[in-house]
């Protein structure tokens, strides 16, 4: 069996180090730099010929990290790596997964094409915005589930009147998975948007009086939806409101929104490094899950044991 080597792009260096520590193998040496005009340059500083290569890089902020990832894949292919697996804890552009109005790009499909054309043999990621994005790839996709991280944490909270909520109609399947596991009820926050990142109105479908509510979503960008839902749920009589969000994009006024909201806690992961700390945000690491998945993929074992 060929040897394993792990490398990291600049976008996920801290998480990659944690994954490498748990896996028991140091990150490989590489150089990534920019020319004065912003053009990226990447090179491996050690031989990767004949190796099973795992490249760890989340794609946010999107442009530079995506370009660096593509250069890493191309350099690995040209350096005769045997098998190239791209480990993308947060897969950017996943929100653009369909043509929802005339004359728009399907960016998630374009990303799949770019990664495949660059030479990736396999993708490993977590909590895609839409699960069907796996079908955009003509290479194997290991789609890890954040519930393996969140379920033990929620269980340890020992909430008396637990109920799950989806912050929008599109996320009901995600919230229903948690509700079924805990044998709890579920409510839905139905929202109407004026435009991207701006909500016109929202209403709660279901009863949350006296309940400990856990909102479930795959990502928090400006956190506007989550915060508006939390405030509305508290207004409807919820005892406490927490949010589970795998990917903390947290752009714009997200931190201000969270601090000013009725959220008791936002539980997220380190697929994206936080820009600042907040007493309301709890970060759980996905390093152990990815390290186990990398080992199983290299050993040609099933990863189904990693799912709740």
Q: 45 exposed, middle or buried (CB, 10 Å; 0-12, 13-18, 19+)?
A: exposed
Which of 25, 34, 82, 191 is an active site residue? 191
Contact 224, 248 (CB under 8 A): no
DSSP characters over 229-246: HHHHHHHTT-SEEEEEEE
Q: How many CB atoms lie within 10 A of CB 151?
A: 17
* Rounded distance between C-alpha atoms, residue 96 and residue 94, angstroms: 5
Closest by CA to 208, choosing from 181, 177, 175, 248, is 175
Does the active-site annotation cover 34? no
Cα-Cα-Cα-Cα dihedral sign, residues 144, 150, 156, 160: negative
* Rounded distance between C-alpha atoms, residue 156 and residue 40, angstroms: 45
Q: Which two tokens stand for residue 51?
A: 């190796």
- If phi > 0 it is left, if psi is from -120 to 50 it is alpha, else beta; for residue 197 that is left
Phi/psi of residue 150, nearest 5 degrees: -80, -35
Closest by CA to 182, choosing from 203, 205, 211, 204, is 211
Contact 166, 186 (CB under 8 A): yes
* Rounded distance between C-alpha atoms, residue 259 and residue 226, angstroms: 12
Q: Which two tokens stand for residue 210?
A: 């006296």
Cα-Cα-Cα-Cα dihedral sign, residues 141, 146, 151, 152: positive
| Active centre residues (catalytic) | 191
């Amino acid at each position: 069996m060929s040897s394993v080597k792990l490398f990291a792009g600049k976008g996920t260096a801290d998480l990659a180090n944690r994954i490498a520590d748990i896996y028991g193998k140091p990150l490989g040496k590489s150089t990534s730099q920019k020319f004065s005009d912003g053009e990226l340059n990447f090179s491996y500083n050690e031989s990767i010929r004949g190796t099973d290569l795992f490249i760890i890089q989340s794609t946010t902020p999107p442009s530079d990290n995506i370009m660096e990832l593509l250069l890493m894949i191309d350099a690995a292919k040209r350096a005769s790596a045997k098998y190239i697996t791209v480990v993308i804890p947060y897969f950017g552009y996943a929100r653009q997964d369909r043509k929802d109005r005339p004359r728009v790009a399907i960016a998630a499909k374009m990303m799949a094409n770019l990664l495949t054309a660059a030479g990736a043999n396999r993708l490993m990621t977590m909590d895609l915005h839409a699960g069907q994005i796996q079908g955009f790839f003509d290479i194997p996709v290991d789609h890890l589930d954040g519930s393996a991280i969140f379920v033990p944490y929620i269980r340890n909270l020992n909430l008396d009147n637990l109920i799950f909520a989806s912050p929008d109609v599109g996320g009901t399947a995600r919230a229903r998975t948690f509700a079924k596991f805990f044998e709890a009820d579920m409510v839905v926050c139905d929202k109407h948007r004026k435009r991207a990142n701006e909500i016109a109105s929202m209403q709660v479908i279901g009863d949350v009086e006296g309940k400990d509510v856990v909102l479930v979503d795959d990502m928090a960008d400006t956190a506007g939806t989550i915060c508006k839902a939390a405030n509305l749920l508290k207004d409807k009589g919820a005892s406490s409101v927490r949010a589970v969000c795998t990917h903390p994009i947290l752009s714009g006024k997200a931190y201000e929104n969270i601090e000013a909201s009725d959220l008791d806690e936002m539980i997220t992961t380190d697929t994206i490094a936080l820009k600042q700390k907040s007493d309301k945000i709890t970060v759980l690491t996905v390093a152990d899950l990815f390290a186990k998945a990398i080992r199983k993929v290299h050993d040609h074992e099933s990863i189904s044991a990693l799912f709740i």
